[in-house]
Structure 1
Amino acid sequence: MRGYYYDQNRVYPVRPSKPPRRPWRAVLLLACTLLLLAGAGLCLRILLDMGANNQALASPAPTPGYSREEEWLDWWEEQEASAETTVERAPTGGQATLALLPQPEGEPHSFQEIYQENIQSIVSIWGESDRSYSFGTGVVLTEDGYVITNAHVIQGCSGVEVTLQDDRSYKALLVGMDSQSDLAVLKIDTDGLRPAILGDSALLEVGDSVVAIGNPLGQELRGTMTDGIVSAINRDVSVDGYTMSLIQTTAALNSGNSGGALINRYGQVVGITNMKMYAYDDTVEGLGFAIPTATVKAVADVLIRDGVVTGRPSIGITCYTVTEEMAEAYEIPVGVCVDEVKTGSDAEAQGILPGDVIVKANGLTVTDIDQLLTLKEGLKAGDTLELVLWREGEYLDRTITLVEQYVLDGDGP
């Protein structure tokens, strides 16, 4: 389950790299550390006295000038660099299209009925690579083996396996994935599956009863159902530089629920669960999110047909608005500040750096991110943006060629 971290003390919308410091916690941590070090020293002394010549206790001397922190950072960068998704691709060009049904008339279904109507449409997703593995949930879309899950479940995987409720397992091929919507479509070689009945998420109202079915914490707890209500609709949540419009729910979601079903009181799947909220310095409960079926249909239909979602020109950066208050506080101009530059983008090639503030684009003054996005959406991949940047007191001109977003996200074959 993807985590969405919330920090109410955050000044501007950049994800903090670590929790905020608390002085009293630092003192407590220091005291605990000293006690642990004292205990460790005593244990080490006993061990050394018992066998000073024991080679098992010996370790190679560290390389001069090379710290453990640097070793960890090198390992982490290696993991990031190897995050390419290399799952074998399925043929595209399929004609399957999803149908969203209206809510039926009559009495709502009982929890027991909802579970029995949907459990055979819920599958387990197991992804693996040379270095790691992931576990999630999927929902059957068609009788002939199309399955939907979250893109982040299979991100970086080299192989994926789908397990049905009757314990039959199949190698899955990747039809297509879309990082922006956090959706991926898989294909398994079988037929006679029970596809989920998809409801129209546009008909949901705050307060509607819903349940979630998925595999929290792994295979042993697969097929778990939790209940709650719709807490909010069209909730904009920004993660990894993308803003998703999601359904918010109180139904309990945990790691492993990613890609599972959010189901309305008539037994219709109205969302694909993908995220829950956390906080660094507070307890957060009952704040889960799901991708509405309106988005699921739009993306899945395109992925089944084409394998990628095209028509999204990208500058190759993530950014945020510099307000007048921020400009005054940090002594920078009002505009759009670059937060991250995508690897392989023309923005990277042209030397744009995090911290640069975009103040003009194609001759127009830019004061907030919406202006920049509106200007970009009127263009297509291959077009250019003439940017004026502020960097440490200087104004720089850069010409950036837009590219298809799926290329930078690594979603293509």
Structure 2
Amino acid sequence: MKNLISLVFVSILAGVLTLGSYKMFFEEKDFFSQEKASLPEYIPANYSNRVSGTNVDFTEAANKTVHSVVHVKNLAVTRSPFQRTQGDLALRGAGSGVIISPDGYIVTNNHVIQKANKLQVTLNNNQNYEAEVIGTDPKSDIALIKIDAEDLSYLPFGDSNDARIGEWVLAVGNPFNLTSTVTAGIISAKSRDLGMDQNVSSFIQTDAAVNPGNSGGALVNINGELIGINTAITSQTGSYVGYAFAVPSNNARKIVEDIMEFGNVQQGILGIRGTEAADSRELDRSISEGVYVSDVESGSGAEEGGIKSGDVIRKIDNVQIRKFSDLIGYISSKRPGDVVQVNVLRNGNEKALNVRLTEYEVFPIQAIGLEVTNASESDLKKNKVKNGVKITRGLTPQMESERLTGTIITEIDNQAVNNVDDVKRIISNKDSSEPISVTFVAPNGEKQKYVWR
């Protein structure tokens, strides 16, 4: 009897526990799922109404952009050895371009249009126009061309300084004359230095697919604003592998405005030499961001503004300077005479200094394939000479391979040169058929004279 009562009690207890377990694991689960489905009546302080994730809508930005991106054909004249007359036009290359005004001004890459005998532009509606070159800047790989048309769709320039890493962007090009093509991605990095010998070695990197033929096309934000000109990809195969680079719109806009107003690019400089803080041996290891100033050029805006050797540049006009390409990219968007506020770290204290940018004047000596600029007092002192101009780069692959950058030219045709104006005067008074002699002084002080015939 006692065994029977015990068995009944155990059965009842088991039933109660089973029912309780059901209540706990099923009814409470339904309760929490209802809580998750409801929306709070308040909005957290960090809430943003920006679209995100896969719900971002690109259609408006794409519609604003596709009619403003064109196909550019670079045509060259072909002539056989047996022809005495002009031959046919052959396609040398092709790329894309961006209409930036309703009356037909178009931005593209210099490498798209260089050495063209004729340029043909095709709009998104398949209308064809012949284009003229207004001006180029090979260093930044930006060119301005124009077609004779009116009331065109065009893209407004955005502020590339406001572009943020992780922000959605569209790359729009017209690569194969198939009408405009749109790809999407995010900004992967800013101020990328590709190690190229350019004024703008500070690119926007994106993972939006950019392929050959997209050069000169538009990089736009989701508002349809132009924030970059697609210029290069990094690839071992020549095809897109996830890394594309664009000249920031602030730099492209400044170059275009310079070409339209002055006929050439006006480049301002601070007047400093330096290294990235992370690479400097003179700095404490705790200072890992910024540009360490190793030398200040005499008479430069930097000297007059109070920048000193040993300073670390941290900001310019409140734009963060973490590495040298940040500095180059920002200064390249300014002109000689512009005043910028430079925040430097000096002996542990931060100072704000106003610096007026000075002109970076260069002159290409085409006859010898070299470009020169004015030499600073420190350049002359370093090379133990009293006068001269400094070589900035070679204009041909052969002269670039000679690695003469930084070498001082003290004489041309046995005439002393003190600055770029002297070089211009001597070269302009020469007949192109005459030989030219140049005296070089290498960094080790060795003097050599060469004659080009």
TM-score, with normalisation over the residues of structure 1? 0.53
Match of 1:307 among 260, 263, 273: 263
Q: Which amino acid aligns with 1:278?
A: S
Which residue type is aligned with residue 174 of structure 1? V
Q: Deviations over 1:43-102 (max 9, x none)?
A: xxxxxxxxxxxxxxxxxxxxxxxxxxxxxxxxxxxxxxxxxxxxxxxxxxxxxxxxxxxx
- CA gap of 1:114–1:343, structure 2 versus 1, over 3 A, is closer
Structure 1 residue 312: Cα displacement: 3.5
**Where does residue 118 of structure 2 map in the other structure?**
159
More relative contact order, 1 or 2 (CA 8 Å, 6+ apart): 1
Question: Could you tell me which residue of structure 2 aligns to residue 142 of structure 1?
Answer: 101
- Greater CA radius of gyration, 1 or 2? 2
Q: For 1:30-49, what aligned pairs fall within 5 Å after superposition?
A: none
- Work out which of the residue numbers 51, 69, 77 in structure 2 matches 1:122: 69
CA distance in 1, matches of 2:167, 2:147: 34
Q: Does 1:219 align with 2:177?
A: yes
Task: Tell me whether 122-131 or 234-243 shows the greater mean CA deviation.
Answer: 234-243
2:446 matched residue in structure 1: 395
Aligned residues of 1:241 and 1:318 also touching (Cα < 8 A): no
The 5 Å alignment of 1:7-406 reads 107=50, 110-131=57-78, 132-216=91-175, 218-220=176-178, 222-239=179-196, 244-279=201-236, 285-309=241-265, 312-314=361-363, 317=370, 341-342=394-395, 354=402, 380-382=420-422, 388-389=441-442, 395-397=446-448
| Cα displacement (A) at 1:283 | 9.5
Shift of 1:198: 1.6
Q: Secondary structure at the match of 1:239?
A: coil
2: CA distance, partners of 1:180 / 1:279: 23
Tell me if structure 1 keeps the 8 A contact 2:69–2:174. no
Report the AA paired with residue 149 of structure 2: T
CA contact (8 A) 1:177 1:185 kept: yes
Which residue identity lines up with residue 219 of structure 1 in the other structure? N
C-alpha separation in 2, matches of 1:170 and 1:353:
40
Q: Secondary structure at the match of 1:134?
A: strand
Which amino acid is the alignment partner of residue 136 of structure 1? G
Could you tell me how far 1:341 is from its partner in structure 2?
3.5
In 1, the alpha carbon distance for the partners of 2:407 and 2:98 equals: 45
Q: 1:330-375, CA deviations, whole angstroms, 9 ceiling, x for partnerless residues? A: xxxxxxxx9974359xx97xxx98156867788xxxxxxxxxxxxx
What are the superposed Cα offsets for residues 172-205 of structure 1, whole Å, 9 maximum, x if unpaired? 1111111011111111111011110221000011
What are the superposed Cα offsets for residues 85-140 of structure 1, whole Å, 9 maximum, x if unpaired? xxxxxxxxxxxxxxxxxxxx974571111111111111111110124421111111
Change (3 A) 1:257 1:386: same
Report the equivalent of 2:276: none
Q: 2:442, 2:236 → 1: CA distance?
A: 34
CA distance in 1, matches of 2:152, 2:240: 37
Which amino acid is the alignment partner of residue 300 of structure 1?
A: V
Change (3 A) 1:353 1:271: closer
Q: Deviations over 1:138-157 (max 9, x none)?
A: 11111111111111100110
Give unpaired runs (5+ residues) of structure 1: 1-104, 320-337, 363-377, 401-413
- The alignment's TM-score, normalised by the length of structure 2, stands at 0.49
* CA shift in 2, pair 1:353/1:107, >3 Å: closer
1: distance between equivalents of 2:239 and 2:76? 33
Distance in 2 between the 1:353 and 1:271 partners? 31
